[in-house]
Chains A and B, each alone.
Chain A
């Protein structure tokens, strides 16, 4: 899995570091005739593929489909005159992300390490150089300036967060609270109401919808999954059976079936006058699906906790809920982090299935763009682009989980 990584081989073979490139190649690529043959063959295939791709990317491909539809990719059919709300949301996220980064890195000797600086440089380069259409979204220059401003905001907030973190303890709790509140602020900015023009969820799309559904499903499926895992271990038979039945049934049904059930069957159970929003139903389906898998993952973690931990907790007078919350769950969840993050990454990828039930998530909106006669046949360009976006999101998640693991390991 991407979240687990073997120790760097360099540290085990310090001699390899001092080799010249030529020596290295001799040793690793051309050590005998069979290896040399393999190297040449693989090199040939690789070079051909890369050349073929580059030729396509720079001559045949018509990339204009990406910049022209950039707003669609990112926010779907969100009304253009309300884009400022998305910018505000991004600002909020950038601010909190920067602060969190700074607080977490308060022990690190250098906040802006070389890899961070390279990343920032690349981001700035992309922002300045990427082609932008001059459509309703605002003048290209303005968009570039706004994006650069966001990057600067993240860096500044990180610096402030670190400065504050070194002087005050307990900032973590405040940040968690701020993240919690920002979810509702974000919801308000997305949906409107309370003084803002209402934007229907049918107008949500693209990355916005994908991120929203993933985030809500992650946040909701986590506690639900943990409860199911505990339920499956409960000493009360009814709770144990219900949890087991739920988990086994959901794990036996493909997600797409659950999404269709959510779409078609849930309305049948509800009274006529209540109509659950389509986005809500799909998110609920994703949540219920993920929770069952999460429950099994957490159960694995729970089983890894030795009996002695339960006995020590009860001999100290802790009741079952307290020993679960204070002793068992913290340890069980920590063990399960890599597997849980793996689940969340597949959840993010599974959100693409909602495009089949008529929602315009990143994949759905791409398909609707491709259905436009103007962009007919631009599959490769569009899918490559959204593939890159998905990869970026998943990679960020797995990196985040590695950081979290490291953080928890050092405090162990």
Chain B
């Protein structure tokens, strides 16, 4: 993986400041596939942005550049004032501020729920174990599965596992949360419990970027919805406009397919 480094640019305590600024991001995969073709997006603090688009359009690739799980070749990305770039290291300091929730949960199967959540605070943030456990228990209560703390991930339902994954990311007290289709691998009856957690997270003022096809969630929770198609960011709009009165034909077509 390409190494990045972070450098702090100014301080950003004021409200309505940008949390993520992506400018003209271009990426080619190793096989030469041009997956991101100059994508720009600014996410302000406290904002919830939903990313939609057909399969293979580059949504996952794009949001994974925000925590450097994917490298990029052109353009620039600033996360909380820290610049992500290729030739530099210390990528971990950005990842500490950016939480990520995956479609497949990716919990650590050999650790209990509590250990999953406390692992990173203990080893990366260097918190004492007692403090990490206290915070973890509060988070588990918040996502509604306090009683599962000592079970292993394999003993939980999909919805419960995804809520653990959210709690695990939150335990690092990130400034942004990225969600990559968090409900796509879930049985329909479990989608709601995860969306409810995400909704309350948004209400608490968390900055969130979510790739999701949950139209209801996008309508109610998102501040903005964007559409990606074959490596381009096609439309950026308010949820009302996006769903009822889109600017682009491409969006119209996409909506007719999913609605």
Contact = CB atoms under 8 A, between A and B. Distances in A.
Interface stretch (A213-221, A246-254, A285-293, A306-314): A306-314
A344 to B, nearest CB: 22
A331 interface: yes
A110 interface: no
A315 B67 contact: yes
B217 interface: no
Contacts of A411: 152
B120 interface: yes
Interface stretch (A264-272, A322-330, A377-385): A322-330
A10 interface: no
How many chain B residues sit at the interface, stated as a range, is 20 to 34
B124 A318 contact: yes
Contact of A316 (B104, B152, B168): B168
A412 B115 CA distance: 13
A311 B109 contact: no
Given A326-B119, A326-B123, A412-B154, A316 B95 contact: yes
B178 to A, nearest CB: 8
Given A317-B120, A318-B124, A327-B108, A312 B152 contact: no
Nearest to B153: A412
A317 B96 contact: yes
Interface in A384-412: 411-412
A148 to B, nearest CB: 42
A313 B93 CA distance: 14
Contacts of B92: 317-319
Contact of A322 (B69, B98, B123): B123
Nearest to A316: B120
Contacts, number: 63
B53 interface: no
- The interface residues of chain A, by DSSP majority, are classed as helix
Most buried by B among A235, A312, A317: A317
A334 interface: yes
B104 A308 contact: yes
Contacts of A412: 109-110, 152, 154
A313 B69 CA distance: 11
B107 to A, nearest CB: 7
B137 to A, nearest CB: 18
A334 B109 CA distance: 12
A228 B119 CA distance: 26
A306 B103 CA distance: 14
A326 B169 CA distance: 17
A315 B96 CA distance: 8
B106 A308 contact: yes
A326 B100 CA distance: 19
Interface of A: 235, 306, 308-309, 311-319, 322, 326-327, 330-331, 334, 411-412
Given A312-B108, A317-B120, A318-B123, 7 more contacts: A306-B106, A312-B107, A315-B169, A316-B120, A316-B168, A317-B93, A412-B110
26 contacts: A235-B1, A308-B102, A309-B108, A311-B69, A312-B107, A312-B165, A313-B108, A315-B69, A315-B98, A315-B99, A315-B100, A316-B119, A316-B172, A317-B92, A317-B93, A317-B96, A317-B172, A318-B92, A318-B123, A319-B92, A327-B108, A330-B110, A331-B110, A334-B110, A412-B109, A412-B154
Q: Which 7 A-B residue pairs are closest in the complex by CB-CB distance?
A: A312-B106, A308-B106, A316-B120, A315-B100, A317-B96, A317-B124, A317-B95
